[in-house]
């Protein structure tokens, strides 16, 4: 706990995820302006490591009044991470989060908010806003952490499954009405789209941290991951945001001239 700042509020919540997922989320500053786009309009990571991260950016709405610099430091031994506002809006604020493992895949977090001395009415408003914001941030984080865990479990399970060489997806006339559509092949999700008048499948799992691409719009052959905003060219599979990751290979799609049946093949 902070020794020098007034404690103004707490937020406590149980989360059905592991401590590993929680720590991973805490030191991942990059997701803030994407997953939490309604709270952060922009955030640039200045430094990062297994210790945490430092960043500068803006809260929503973006304006010079809403700019800030943040630092998050994780102390695994104390099951705690501290987020400090080091400059800009809310300078001096410290948010201490302790995480307790209740059972496998179940933790409890206790968040304590400390803010520099403010007039009472402002202090209460700010504290209320912080608690509200954290409730929303954790709703969004929980979706990401739980989805990622499901994806990791799915991949593990897939390793023990005998792979198929092909599956029939259906009739062209029917499938065309449903595009873009998601299908599963060898326990992996793919999305089937029409690009340059041709059917094409691409992996619907982001290669960065397994973000879900199923529900993302495809704009001129580009898909953008909702978790960290990496963009991928679905044809070449390359990340056009500069990251070294690439979409996993997808099955080839063929159409039988006579029957009109669409098949996905390894």
Instruction: Kindly list the residues in this chain that would bind Fe ion in the complex (CB under 5 A).
Output: 141
209 forms part of the interface with ligand FES (CB under 6 A): yes
Of 33 and 180, nearer to Fe ion (C-beta) is 33
Give the 3-state secondary structure percentages of the chain, helix then strand then coil, rounded to 5.
25, 40, 35
Q: Is 208 in the site for ligand FES (CB under 6 A)?
A: yes
Distance (Å, whole) CA 58 – CA 252: 43
Is there binding between residue 227 and ligand FES (CB under 6 A)?
yes
* Interaction partner, residue 141 (ligand FES, Fe ion, none; CB < 5-8 Å by kind): Fe ion
> Is 225 a binder of ligand FES (CB under 6 A)?
yes
Residue with tokens 């029917």: 174
C-alpha count within 13 angstroms, C-beta hemisphere, residue 9 = 16
Find the shortest distance in angstroms from Cβ 45 to ligand FES. Answer: 13
Q: Is 206 in the site for ligand FES (CB under 6 A)?
A: yes
90 is a contact residue toward ligand FES (CB under 6 A) = no
Contact between 54 and ligand FES per CB under 6 A: no
Instruction: Determine contact, residues 251/201, Cβ cutoff 8 Å.
Output: yes
DSSP 144-187: HHHHHHHHHHHHHHHTTSPPPSEEEEEEHHHHHHH-SEEEEETT
Task: List interacting residues with ligand FES (CB under 6 A).
Answer: 206, 208-209, 211, 225, 227-228, 230
């Amino acid at each position: 706990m902070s020794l020098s700042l007034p404690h103004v509020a707490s937020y406590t919540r149980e989360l059905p995820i592991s401590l590993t997922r929680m720590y991973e989320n805490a030191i991942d500053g990059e997701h803030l302006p994407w997953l939490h786009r309604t709270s952060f309009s922009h955030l640039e990571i200045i430094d990062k490591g297994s210790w945490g991260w430092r960043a500068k950016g803006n809260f929503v709405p973006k304006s010079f009044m809403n700019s800030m610099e943040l630092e998050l430091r994780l102390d695994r031994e104390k099951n705690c991470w501290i987020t400090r506002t080091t400059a800009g809006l809310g300078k001096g604020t410290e948010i201490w989060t302790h995480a307790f493992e209740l059972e496998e895949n179940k933790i409890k977090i206790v968040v304590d908010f400390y803010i520099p001395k403010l007039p009472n009415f402002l202090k209460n408003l700010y504290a209320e806003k912080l608690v509200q914001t954290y409730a929303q941030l954790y709703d969004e984080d929980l979706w990401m952490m739980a989805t990622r865990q499901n994806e990791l479990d799915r991949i593990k399970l897939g390793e023990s499954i005998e792979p198929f060489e092909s599956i029939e997806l259906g009739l062209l006339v029917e499938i065309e009405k449903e595009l873009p559509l998601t299908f599963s092949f060898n326990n992996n999700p793919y999305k089937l789209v029409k690009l340059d008048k041709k059917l094409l499948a691409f992996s619907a799992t982001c290669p960065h941290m397994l973000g879900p691409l199923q529900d993302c719009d495809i704009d001129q052959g580009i898909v953008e991951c909702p978790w960290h905003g990496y963009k991928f060219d679905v044809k070449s599979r390359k990340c056009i945001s500069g990251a070294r990751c690439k979409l996993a290979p997808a099955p080839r799609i063929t159409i039988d001239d006579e029957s009109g049946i669409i098949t996905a093949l390894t």
